[in-house]
Structure formats: structure tokens, C-alpha cells
Structure 1
């Protein structure tokens, strides 16, 4: 005779386990006011990437302002969302008047000298830049500089020197014999002269180029110097691709050359003295010496004095081990971009009903939350071939609200909001369209007001996960977040007995989404619903600041709608 006893026994065991788990959650939550985190005076920080690749230098609209002026005007509104720092684009002169600055020509020209076809950079003049930084500081908003130190572009003339071709896919393997080549390596800065720095750059200051002008041939050449027979690629760079990934693009700087080292350290002191910056992003950190990066960071922090200097190392790798190795080599002086998280968001966004429970597994924010920059978009600035690889990290629009909720509302990591998601991108013929169906400002406000204190995860269903933030003494309301990448769902979560009887509402409420109010029961539990492919963020309807969360945010930064 078939017995149902094993089935009933398994069900009883499961029920007992769930009861024990609930009891543990309740005990943990009821003790949070005795933890140091409850009394933390720290306000949430939030970084805003204040540009996107296609921002026009001079918009074809009624708005003729430079980008520096545009940002200066938008600062109060951005700050009101909880932004505490802005990451601005490279403000140094590039080889192209409308280049984004990653095609860097002169570190010491911030839009001050008539070089490369204009005085201004794509983003504006030095005076406009100074106004922006001063206004940001007055609001309590820090400014992070995008430091492009790996290479130079747009040389003033060609030089002859000896080089050896290397294998495109294995830069540590020479492909042929040394030969005389012609490369664009002479940088004399005729517009600036010797103002701020006396150094002119020549072939001796570079380790590689990717163009032989004499033969009109594109290939990667390692530069040889008879006076320095040990000259080679830097060894303390990324090796998880191409054997040795010192060479990336343009004329690659050789940081083993004492004049290069001295000049770039001089620039670090100079930029910190002329602009009250609060941080830097080291572009292409995978491609130049980590030893020099450490020295550079120490140099700028010493120059900054009492100012805290937050540094991001843009080491682009989806391999967690590579990121952890980079952080270790940097002696944890920097935060690194959590590329595994970006790639995880991308994969989940493209798979129907993907399992959300492991969304954070194997990410940098899971392993080193204090050293993780978390975002759902980040520039990987490289050559055209590599730029195509960025497509692999695009997060589909329908998943972005889920990604941003995980970035903005959870403990751990340094969250970064992308300009193109807040204001839309200008890469087409249509007006820019913001991400998250216009709800990103509300998610940012939720972080500013409610995402504090200890956290409890409910990652117990493949297509519906949630978490609780219990709040702290300064922000006691807390929040409940639930998200679904499948159909409508409801998740029962414990917010604490002190909230019993409170009426919680969804900050992201849309008409007809779900019941407008969830009442916390006498045991401290709430039933929190969410629609399919949506995020809901629930807080007490009487919480401080609740009435302002849904306020309209002006996304028309270019003045298109005003025409």
C-alpha cells in the first residue's frame, strides 16, 4: 500500500524550518537598536556619472550652453535627489574639438589654450569648469575628475624610431625583427608652450603605438630605445587578456621613464591645487602600472590635505579574481567597477524568467562591498573593436528598474547613477528618453530618505525576491522592496512589531498596479505585492518626506520641450 507519510513528514519539516527561520529573523530585527549601525550618523552617498558618450558639444536646440554650464544649472535638482558627488567627463584637451576627452592631447589644457582647433574642450572652457566645481562644492556635492593617464593622442608631428611588431592577441610575443618606423609621438603643445609644465613628449616617453606612418600600416609596435635596453611593456598591468595588456590605444605612455612619471605626478598636484576635487576615476586602470597608480593616488591625496579623495580604478574585467587581484595590488586604495554585477544584470535582463536568487553571487559587492562601485552601466572606453564588446553589458530597459533597486536600496557598494538613464541619451533622431519609465528619480529619493540600517533578504523564489531595510535612529522608517521578473507576486516580509498598524504604500505606485495600501499586522509582518516585471518600494505612508517622493523631476536638460 502506497504511503503518504514521507510526503507529510517532509512538509512538516519544511514548516518547522520556516518557523525557525522566521523566529531568527524576528529576533535579529528586534535587536537592531542595540547595534552600532542603528546610531550611525552617516547619510547615504550617491555618485552621478554626469555625462554620456553622445552629449552634444553644441546642441541643435534653443540651449546653446556648454555642458559645464548645463550641469551647473542642473546641480540643485540633482542634489535634491540625494546625489553627493558627480563624476564629470575628462576636462583636458583632446585631439578632436568634439572628442569626449579620452582622446587626450594635453593634461594641462582645461579649455584655456587655443589648441586642436579651439580654446574650449567639448565640455566648455576652464572658467566654466571652475564655476561648476565651486557651485558643486557650495552645495556639498563633491566632484570626481576622470583622469586619462594611460596614453596621449593627436601628436603634433611624426618621429622616426625603432620598434618591433607584436602579436595583436599576445602583446608579450614579438612578431618579427626590430625595424625603423614612423609614429605620431611628438607633442610640443604650441598653444600652451611651457605654461604649467616644461615637458614636451617624444618617442622616448612612450612604450607603444599602433600605426607606422611611413608604411601606412596599422599594427601594434613596441617601441625600443637603445639607451634603455630594458625598456618593455609594464609588467604590473592586466594579464588576463592579450598576454600583457599594457598597450590599449594611441601613443601609450611609458611610466618607467622618469620624465613621464615626474610630469604626471606634477599634473596630479596641479589639478588638485587649481580645482577643489573630491575624487578621481583612473581611466583604463587595467593598462598602466599599478605601482605608478599607487604613487599617483598618494600624491593627489597628500596635495588635497584634509579633503577626502575617493578614487575609482576602471579595471574592466568580468573575472572576479582579476578584480580582487587588482584591488590587492592597489592595497585597497581604490574602488573598482563591479563588472561581474553589470554583466549579471545584462544576462538576467535578456533571459525570460531568469532566476533572480543568485543575482549578487560571485560579484565584487558580495566579496568586497567597501571597494565596489555598483552600477548598471559603465563606460569601457577603448578602440572600436573593443567598444563592440560593450553591447554584451547592456541592460535591457525592462530590467533596469530591478537593477537600480538592487544598486540604490541595498547595503554595500558605492552606487552610481548614469546620466543617460536619468536624462536619456542623445544617440538618435528622437528626444532623449529616461530609463525606468521615469521612476529613477523616485528610486534615488528612496535611497536618500529610507535605505538605511540593517538588511534582511528574502531571496527565496526564482522570479520574485525582496529585502527589508530596517532603518536607523536618524531614519527610522525603513523600507520593503520586492521585485518580479515574472508575473504578479506577493511576498510576506517582517518589518518589525513597532510598525504594527502602519499603512505602507508603494513609492513607485502606478494606477491599477496593485492595492494601494498594505497594513502591517500585529506581529510586524506585511504582505507586499508587486506586478510582473516591476519593482515596488513600500514605506510607511506617514514617513518623513513621503509626500515629496513622487515630485516631478525636470529631465529636459537640453531645453527641447521648451522650444
Structure 2
């Protein structure tokens, strides 16, 4: 795959009503034309809120919009036949398809069970009260509408380590399920935030139960056979023991008919934690570069006060470029969501140029940045907000530039706090480019590109600058950009 480029093909507030799968079928050819060659789909299985579920309140992994469960047959995005048609259309357009794997927790149980629990201190999960509470909880999943089709597995309290709501007595909080089948305490090899971040929400799946891990492996084989997907995006892995995903990834790669692209979401701004996780899974997954996203957020907030020379310091793409999936935004960081840290629209063209045109990492593009989004939701203060996410200026051209000009050896000129530049040398088959950007005033760089680029005429592919640049007999030239902007200079004959 030449210059792999991933599209996150949804956002948190994508409209319900079964519109997404048909939209992806219609857009498949245009995705290919704009330079996208991988698409990450939202969770395709039935969530606890049925046709309104974004997909992360996982209920039944084996219901891809086929059974009348949780108030609807279709998911928010469409029914199973529409899903399969979308995948087929994308793959025919030479676009690989990644499915979202949500196996940290389950929600929307079918029945209550009598269980025993210990209270847990919410901000320090290692503090587990010795007192045992007899109660009831929604921990039994029988999927009566599916009636054993595809899988006869019944989930009960023995499959879970924790819960956030009990009845008789009724209480909310974090509760450790007393479970003789898997032992005391929480899983190891999870993030150490809150002491131990095994528990996140809902009925927390316990991977020490071998029947559970075998069922999730079986589901992976089943979903690959049903969809013929090309890879997976793994949700919330900081809450799931690394030893489980190491074994799971080994299994799916072994049984898959082709090598799978796998990227995991470990949302931490500490690059050492990301590197530790990669070591625990033997480097068998890529990770989203959350530290780089935070750098982009901070740079967009601080404007000219941000030192652009440090934009990659402490990021995964700097420390381990072969395992980094770079991003400017996602469904969790968009306004009014849990990890809200939006990158301001003025800075997004600079950020996208940095991930799309440099040689390091696999870049991910966010659906609203290409197509826009408008929505309303309640903020943390209880007030209702109207959010408009605009189409990002020149992002379509940056995607095309990645495929046409992001080739060859990379040279960096990160030598000024506001104006930085880099070049790609090109190859025998493909031309290169010079990228200049400034987060302050209008900027320029006097660059030496070498004799191969002597006496060449250059134009800004993005059209932000009107002038031509002509390099001299040594390949030296002065390349400019507007303030708060980016220009991608390419040889005139390559246009």
C-alpha cells in the first residue's frame, strides 16, 4: 500500500437512522480518488441503546444489525446487509476496512442475578472494602432474540470482575464482584491510573475467565468470516490486560487469510506508557499518538507563543515511528466529548500537513474535517451548546499531495520557534515537495535542496501563495508561507 492513509469514517454525533453504511458505499470511489486507502468503521454490533448507539455501549457482538434487539433490528448506521455492501464497495475501491473491537465491557444485560460485591474507592481502585454486600445486578446476557444463532454463549456474573450499579440495596459506584472463578482483585497489565484502571464502565469483562477469552477469539474468527475485514481498531486497551491482547492478536493474525492492520487506542499523553504497552504486546499492534494530538491542541490554543520546534518532542511518532498512527482529532476529543481537546480550525491545515506529508507514522483523518459536522449536546455545566465543525481548508488537497508528492528522503528545518519547514526528496518514480508553515507572521526559509533541484520552478500546490520560486544552480531557493498557514511547494513540471 503506497502511503497508507486512514479515515475515521464517523464521529460521535453522526446522525442516526441507518445512513452511514449507505453513505460509505456511495463515497467509496471518491475516497480512493482523494488518496484514502484505509477506513475505520464505528462499532458495527448492537449497543445497549439500539438504533441510537454510537457502539461503545457494547451489548451483543454477534448482532451486526440482524436481530430485533434493544428496540431495533438495524444499528445506528444501518443493517447487516448494508454493512456488508459498504465493506464490499470499499474493498472494490482498493480501500482496506478496519472494524472497531469493543470488548472491555458490556451493557444492557437481559437479566439480573444475585451476586456478592465489595465496594471500591473510585479514585483508588486498589482500595477494596473487605465487607461483602449481597445484592442483585444486571449481569446476565442471554440475547433471546438471537436465540443461540452464531453463538450459544451465555454471559453471567462469572464473566465479569466489576459493576457500577447494584440493586437490593440500590447503589451506584464501583463494585468488585466476588468471583471464585477468577480470583481476587483486578487484572494486571492495565494502566496504573487510579491505582489500577481495569474497571472503566458497565459490566467489566474479566479476561482471567478462559471461557470468556475463548469466546472473544471465536467472535474474531466469526466476524472475519462474515465481513472479510482487513484489520481492527482496538478500543480502550489501557483498561484491558496487555497479555490478553498479545494472545488475541497472535490468534487473529494466525487464522486470518491475509496480514491484518491493527491499531489500538491507549489514550495516554505519557509516551513511556505507550512504549511500555507496545513492549508488553511484542510490538504486534500500532497505537494512536495521543501525545502528538495534545501537542496539536496546545499549539492551536497558544498561537505564536507555541514553539513549533518542539511539536514532536515527547510523541510516539518521534520515539517509535513504526508503531504510531498520527491524528489531529477523533470522536473522543471533539467538542462536548469525554476527552475534549479540540484542535482549532486555523491550525488543522498545519497539523494535517505535518502528519500527511512527513514520512513518519500512519496518518488518520477525521470525518468532520473532510465533510463538516453540526450538532447539539449538553456540556459538563448543564448548558446546551450548538457545535459547528467546519470542513478544513485545503485538507482535500493535502490528501492528494500525500499520494503525489510525499516521497523520498526527508530533511527537517525545525530551526525557528514560529516558522518550520521540511522537504521530501522524491524518487525516480515520484516527485517530492517542500513544506513551509508558520504559526506567527508570514514566514520564509532559504533552503538548499541540492543539484538535482537546480534551476527549477516551484508553485504552491495548495494555492495559498501565488508567486513562483526558482531555485538557483545549486538548488537553493527561498520558500514562503502566509502567517498562520502552510504552503506545499512542488516542481511546476510535476503539476
TM-score range, shorter chain: over 0.9
1:278 aligns with 2:230: yes
Closer, same or farther in 2 for the Cα pair 1:359/1:187, shift >3 Å? same
C-alpha distance in 1 between matches for 2:8 and 2:112? 36
User: Structure 2-normalised TM-score?
Assistant: 0.95
| Residue from 296, 301, 315 that aligns with 1:350 | 301
- Indicate if the aligned counterparts of 1:95 and 1:103 stay in contact, CA closer than 8 A: yes
Q: How far has the Cα of 1:138 moved from its partner?
A: 1.2
1:459 aligns with 2:408: no
Report the equivalent of 1:492.
Answer: 446
Report the equivalent of 1:76.
Answer: 29
User: Structure 1-normalised TM-score?
Assistant: 0.83
Report the equivalent of 1:261.
Answer: 213
1:300 aligns with 2:252: yes
| Residue from 390, 398, 410 that aligns with 2:339 | 390
Deviations 1:438-481 (A, max 9, x none): x1000000001000111110111110000000011221x21000
- Counting matched residue pairs gives 485
Closer, same or farther in 2 for the Cα pair 1:352/1:433, shift >3 Å? closer
Report the equivalent of 2:241.
Answer: 289
Q: How far has the Cα of 1:433 moved from its partner?
A: 4.8
| Residue from 359, 372, 382 that aligns with 2:311 | 359
List alignment gaps of at least 5 residues for structure 2: 377-384
Deviations 1:2-47 (A, max 9, x none): xxxxxxxxxxxxxxxxxxxxxxxxxxxxxxxxxxxxxxxx621101
- Map of 1:40-51 to 2, 5 A cutoff? 43-51=2-10
- Indicate if the aligned counterparts of 2:181 and 2:209 stay in contact, CA closer than 8 A: no
Deviations 1:145-201 (A, max 9, x none): 000011111111221200101110111111351111221111110110111111111
Q: How far has the Cα of 1:135 moved from its partner?
A: 1.4
Closer, same or farther in 2 for the Cα pair 1:404/1:229, shift >3 Å? closer
Structure with more strand by fraction: 2
- Indicate if the aligned counterparts of 1:507 and 1:539 stay in contact, CA closer than 8 A: yes
C-alpha distance in 2 between matches for 1:352 and 1:336? 28
Q: SS at the partner of 1:426?
A: strand
- Map of 1:542-553 to 2, 5 A cutoff? 542-543=493-494, 546=495
- Indicate if the aligned counterparts of 1:400 and 1:435 stay in contact, CA closer than 8 A: no
Closer, same or farther in 2 for the Cα pair 1:436/1:92, shift >3 Å? same
C-alpha distance in 2 between matches for 1:431 and 1:346? 17
Report the equivalent of 1:244.
Answer: 196
C-alpha distance in 2 between matches for 1:232 and 1:425? 43
Q: How far has the Cα of 1:224 moved from its partner?
A: 0.6
Report the equivalent of 2:172.
Answer: 218
- Indicate if the aligned counterparts of 1:465 and 1:482 stay in contact, CA closer than 8 A: yes
Report the equivalent of 2:436.
Answer: 482
- Indicate if the aligned counterparts of 1:166 and 1:222 stay in contact, CA closer than 8 A: yes
Q: How far has the Cα of 1:214 moved from its partner?
A: 2.5
| Residue from 112, 134, 137 that aligns with 1:180 | 134
Q: How far has the Cα of 1:379 moved from its partner?
A: 3.8
Report the equivalent of 1:426.
Answer: 374
C-alpha distance in 2 between matches for 1:141 and 1:519? 38
C-alpha distance in 1 between matches for 2:448 and 2:490? 13
| Residue from 272, 276, 281 that aligns with 1:330 | 281
C-alpha distance in 1 between matches for 2:349 and 2:54? 28
C-alpha distance in 1 between matches for 2:62 and 2:449? 54
1:473 aligns with 2:428: yes
1:446 aligns with 2:401: yes
C-alpha distance in 1 between matches for 2:433 and 2:450? 11
Closer, same or farther in 2 for the Cα pair 1:237/1:380, shift >3 Å? farther
- Map of 1:54-73 to 2, 5 A cutoff? 54-58=13-17, 66-73=19-26
C-alpha distance in 2 between matches for 1:426 and 1:217? 37
C-alpha distance in 2 between matches for 1:286 and 1:360? 23
C-alpha distance in 1 between matches for 2:307 and 2:387? 34
- Indicate if the aligned counterparts of 1:503 and 1:518 stay in contact, CA closer than 8 A: yes
List alignment gaps of at least 5 residues for structure 1: 1-41, 59-64, 547-563
- Map of 1:400-419 to 2, 5 A cutoff? 400-419=348-367
RMSD: 1.8
Q: SS at the partner of 1:416?
A: strand
Report the equivalent of 1:371.
Answer: 323
Report the equivalent of 1:5.
Answer: none
